Every structure is written in structure tokens, then in C-alpha cells.
């Protein structure tokens, strides 16, 4: 993946978190040898982010870590992250990780005069030195505010703690609970000035969305947006994909749309490799057929394809396409074609995006179809869908994957106003429409735009045969369609 912020432009040394996406946003990771504050309300994923930072540090960067937990016991922590594939017991066994549960309970403590938190320092210092730790997590220090009466001592000691962490040269994550009108309830941000990350968990319309924002990163450029993130079986995944970078290389290679006449309309050679194609039209105008042709052609070239279906099941698509002479099943059997069918309303937009993103990263296809992209409007606002598409397209372009999106135009809507306002993101825009003339219903197709090529401005008539979709010059009328097909067959 591209880095949004080039690490070369900053002098600060950074410690990669290993968390997918977060290192891109921060231009390489957290400030090395310094503390970072991660704050958010209960259940926002702070503990998990911190733990993943340690585990990835151990596994991917050879940096042992100490997790000092003020809330959860070692066994609870181990249990909670086991589902993400993190085996804490094993890391502890291998002396790569120390988990120290600090039990603080005010009712069990009587304060009788002057004290300091040297015990905490010694404890942490011993844990760090015992395994040569480079990373430390304190989750969450705010428990101390509830456990100790003398806030004056506590604040002085916290200040000393952060100084001490810096002197130790460990890269640390300190978590804090979100406060009313403040980043943290007890003002931890006062002590940690290098880097502050805010996590947020919102539920709108029963769909949950987690977001991450880098509030502050002293001495470093960083992405300032709110980035959605997910917690799934592999840990945390932040989606930094934005249209910030328009630096993807534009290919000059052309690939067939699967329909010779359509290729002809597209400067004679078809789509550009890595471009994004929008096919819009009303229900039943043949959008899925155009998609299937494109996929079929790609499979014939031996290219892998992923088809995201949000309206029909895989078997429905296969059956329907067979009726126009396209057999997709062999491609599926050969592993060249994956059809992923799901209901758009099943998940929030972000989860859809991440699922698609991960499928794409796993399958590494050359061609992707999203059919139809408009169904997402049911799950988010037009702006949200737009921003999701921007990020998806950005990924596809970066990977030089050619993508075809279908867009269902609702009856009564202006056909050329593609409803989610995505047409500007698309390189090629095909419009299919129904017309009724001389007592017969017919379909037409025209190329509204196609960047970087001399495309046809003709409106062609569009017909289905048992050998697939055929296009003829509409001005010649339907009568000529058949001989023309025969000629080409």
C-alpha cells in the first residue's frame, strides 16, 4: 500500500505499529522512544490497539514489549485477544512479552502520609529490563485516579513517569478514557504531547462504525481525517485509503470489454487496464450482462476476477448468464472467478469496504465488478457512499485493477444524473437505456465519456442472443441486427 505521508520527509524516528493502515496514516508509525496517548470511550478498541502494537512489534519488528494493565487481568487479556490469533502465553513463555496486572482498589488502601509511586517505576523498570523491552503499554493509567486519594502526588508522579519513559527510550502507548469536552477524563493529554490518537465508536441506524483520528503528531505530517477501522479476526484494520494521492501510474494497456462492438466504440481496443468503468441504467437493461461479458473475457485471458454481487446470488448470476450463452461456472471451478454475494444492509458501509478490500488483497484479481454499487445508498448517506467509493477506487487504481461498477437508476430519475455522484470518479461511463418505438421495446447503449481515448458518440442498439450481448448502430435499426451478428459469428 502507498504511504500517505512519506517517512523520508520527517526527521523523527518512527516505530511501525504493524497495524494495517495506521502506519500509512502516521507516515511510518508512532514516535519511536516516546509516549503516544490513545484515547476513546469504553469499548472503542484502545486496549486492543495497544495490544496489537505490542504483538506486532514482537512478531514483525523483533521488539519485546511490556503490557501493564490496570483494568484487566493477564488471563482476561489473553482470552480477549486469542480470537485475533494472538497467543500471549506463548509470547510470555518466549520472554518476548511481560504482562503485569496492577491491582488498584481504593477501598483496600489507607493513605497515611507522604508517598510516591516508585513501586510502579521499579516494577515497570524491572519488566522492561527483564526482556529488553522496546515497547510499553500502560492501559489505562486513569485507574490510578480512582485508586489514590492524593491527586497532587499522583499528578506529579505521572509527570515523572512520562519523563522516565522517554529517558528509558521505549515507545509507549498510554491509553485514556474519553472525557466530557476533553480528550481524556483526567487530562492525560497534558503529559503526553508527542502524539495523540483518538478512537471513536458510533452506532447509527443500528450499524456500528469505528473511527480513528490522529489528533496530534508533533514534528510529523499525518493524515488528519477520521479513518474508519475494523476489528476482525486478524486484529485492527484502519482504512487510510483516500483520494489524497492521485499518483497511480496510468496504464496504456487496453483490455477487452468482452463485447467486440463495445471495444470498437471504445477507440477500438476496450477499456484501459486499471481504469474504473461505470455502467448505469434502469432495472433490466443488461448491466449484469455487460459485467459478465467483461469478467468472461478476463477469465479467458487467464486473469483472476472478483465479482461483488449485491442483488443476486452467485448461482442466480450463473444461471441467468447461461441463458445468454455465457457460462461462468468453469471459471469459478478453475478458481479464476470468485463471486461474493451479500446483502448491502447486512453490514455497515465500512465493513463492506473492508471486506471488499480484504477480498481484493487476498485474491489479487486483475478485474473487479461491483454490481450494483447503488445498493449501498440503503446503508449510508450519499456522501458516505461517495467517500467509500473514492477509497475503494483508490485501492483498485493503486493495484492496477480494472473495475466495473453498475449503477441502478431508479425509474423517473434523470438517467444521466448518476445518483451517487460517482461519475466524476469514473474513467469510462456507459449508459444503457430502454426505449419504446414502433411498438417494441429496445435497449440502447452509448458511451457518455471515456477518458484518454477517442470513443464513439454513437448510440448503439443492444440485444441479447444466445451468444451474448450484441450491439448494432441504432440508426440502422433493429432489422439489421441479425445479419450483422451472423456475419460476426
Which residues, in sequence order, are CB contacts of 375 under 8 Å at separation 6+?
Answer: 310, 311, 344, 408
C-alpha to C-alpha distance for 377 and 374, rounded to whole angstroms: 6
- The conformation of residue 74, written as its DSSP 8-state character, comes to H
Please, which residue, 117 or 481, has the CB nearer to another protein?
117
Work out how close the CB of 102 gets to another protein at its nearest, in angstroms, rounded to a whole number: 6
- Note whether 369 and 328 are within 8 A (CB): no
Residues that bind another protein (CB under 8 A): 100, 102-104, 108-120, 122-123, 125-127, 130, 144, 148
Please, which residue, 54 or 124, has the CB nearer to another protein?
124
HSE of 285, CA atoms in CB hemisphere, 13 A: 26
In this structure, the strands spanning 207-217 and 440-450 are unpaired
Please, which residue, 147 or 260, has the CB nearer to another protein?
147
Partners of residue 271 on adjacent β-strands: 255
Please, which residue, 129 or 416, has the CB nearer to another protein?
129
Work out how close the CB of 142 gets to another protein at its nearest, in angstroms, rounded to a whole number: 14
Closest CA to 88 of 55, 134, 39: 55
Please, which residue, 90 or 116, has the CB nearer to another protein?
116
In this structure, the strands spanning 30-31 and 14-15 are antiparallel
C-alpha to C-alpha distance for 33 and 469, rounded to whole angstroms: 62
Taking the CB of residue 144, how many other CB atoms lie within 10 A of it?
Answer: 20
Order of all β-strands in the sheet with 195-204: 97-101, 65-69, 135-139, 171-177, 35-40, 195-204, 207-217, 226-232, 235-238
Dihedral angle computed from the Cα positions of residues 258, 261, 263 and 266, in that order, rounded to the nearest 10 degrees? -140
Work out how close the CB of 111 gets to another protein at its nearest, in angstroms, rounded to a whole number: 5
List, in sequence order, every beta strand (DSSP E) within 282-387: 305-309, 337-341, 367-371
The phi, psi pair for 342, rounded to 5°, reads -155, 160
Please, which residue, 148 or 415, has the CB nearer to another protein?
148
Please, which residue, 70 or 227, has the CB nearer to another protein?
70
Please, which residue, 105 or 466, has the CB nearer to another protein?
105
Please, which residue, 167 or 180, has the CB nearer to another protein?
167
Work out how close the CB of 108 gets to another protein at its nearest, in angstroms, rounded to a whole number: 6
Work out how close the CB of 196 gets to another protein at its nearest, in angstroms, rounded to a whole number: 26
Work out how close the CB of 103 gets to another protein at its nearest, in angstroms, rounded to a whole number: 5
Amino acid at each position: 500500500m502507498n504511504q500517505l505521508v512519506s517517512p523520508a520527509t520527517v526527521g523523527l524516528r518512527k516505530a511501525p505499529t504493524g497495524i494495517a493502515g495506521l502506519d500509512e496514516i502516521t507516515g511510518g508509525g508512532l514516535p519511536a522512544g516516546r509516549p503516544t496517548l490513545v484515547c476513546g470511550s469504553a469499548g472503542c478498541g484502545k486496549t486492543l490497539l495497544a495490544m496489537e502494537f505490542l504483538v506486532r512489534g514482537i512478531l514483525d519488528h523483533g521488539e519485546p514489549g511490556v503490557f501493564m494493565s490496570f483494568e484487566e487481568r493477564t488471563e482476561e487479556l489473553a482470552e480477549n485477544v486469542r480470537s485475533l490469533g494472538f497467543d500471549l502465553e506463548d509470547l510470555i513463555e518466549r520472554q518476548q512479552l511481560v504482562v503485569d496486572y496492577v491491582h488498584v482498589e481504593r477501598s483496600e488502601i489507607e493513605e497515611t502520609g507522604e508517598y510516591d509511586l516508585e513501586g510502579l517505576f521499579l516494577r515497570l523498570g524491572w519488566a522492561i529490563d527483564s526482556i529488553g523491552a522496546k515497547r510499553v503499554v500502560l492501559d489505562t493509567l486513569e485507574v490510578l485516579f480512582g485508586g489514590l486519594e492524593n491527586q497532587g502526588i499522583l499528578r506529579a508522579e505521572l509527570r515523572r513517569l512520562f519523563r522516565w519513559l522517554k529517558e528509558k527510550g521505549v515507545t509507549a502507548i498510554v491509553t485514556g478514557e474519553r472525557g466530557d469536552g476533553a480528550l481524556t477524563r483526567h487530562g492525560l493529554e497534558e503529559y503526553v504531547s508527542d502524539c495523540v490518537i483518538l478512537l471513536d465508536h458510533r452506532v447509527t441506524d443500528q450499524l456500528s462504525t469505528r473511527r480513528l483520528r490522529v489528533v496530534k503528531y508533533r514534528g510529523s505530517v499525518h493524515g488528519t481525517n477520521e479513518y474508519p477501522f475494523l476489528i476482525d479476526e486478524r486484529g485492527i484494520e484502519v482504512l487510510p485509503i483516500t483520494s489524497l494521492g492521485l499518483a497511480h501510474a496510468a496504464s496504456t494497456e487496453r483490455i477487452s470489454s468482452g463485447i467486440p462492438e463495445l471495444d470498437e466504440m471504445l477507440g477500438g481496443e476496450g477499456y484501459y487496464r486499471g481504469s474504473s468503468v461505470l455502467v448505469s441504467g434502469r432495472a433490466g437493461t443488461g448491466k449484469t450482462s455487460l459485467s459478465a461479458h467483461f469478467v468472461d473475457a478476463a477469465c479467458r485471458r487467464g486473469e483472476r476476477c472478483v465479482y461483488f454481487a449485491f442483488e443476486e446470488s452467485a448461482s442466480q448470476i450463473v444461471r441467468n448468464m447461461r441463458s445468454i450463452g455465457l457460462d461462468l461456472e468453469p471459471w469459478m471451478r478453475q478458481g479464476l472467478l470468485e463471486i461474493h454475494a451479500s446483502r448491502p444492509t447486512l453490514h455497515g458501509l465500512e465493513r463492506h469496504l473492508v471486506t471488499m478490500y480484504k477480498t481484493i488483497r487476498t485474491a489479487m484479481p486483475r478485474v473487479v465488478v461491483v454490481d450494483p454499487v447503488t445498493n449501498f445508498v440503503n446503508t449510508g448517506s450519499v456522501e458516505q457512499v461517495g467517500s467509500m467509493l473514492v477509497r475503494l477506487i483508490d485501492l483498485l487504481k493503486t493495484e492496477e485493477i480494472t473495475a466495473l461498477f453498475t449503477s441502478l437508476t431508479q425509474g423517473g430519475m434523470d438517467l444521466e444524473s448518476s445518483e451517487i455522484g460517482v461519475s466524476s470518479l469514473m474513467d469510462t461511463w456507459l449508459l444503457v437505456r430502454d426505449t419504446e418505438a414502433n411498438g417494441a421495446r429496445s435497449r440502447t447503449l452509448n458511451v457518455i465519456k471515456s477518458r484518454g481515448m477517442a470513443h464513439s458518440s454513437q448510440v448503439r442498439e443492444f440485444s441479447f442472443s444466445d451468444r451474448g450481448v450484441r450491439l448494432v448502430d441504432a440508426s440502422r435499426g433493429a432489422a439489421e441486427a441479425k445479419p450483422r451478428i451472423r456475419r460476426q459469428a
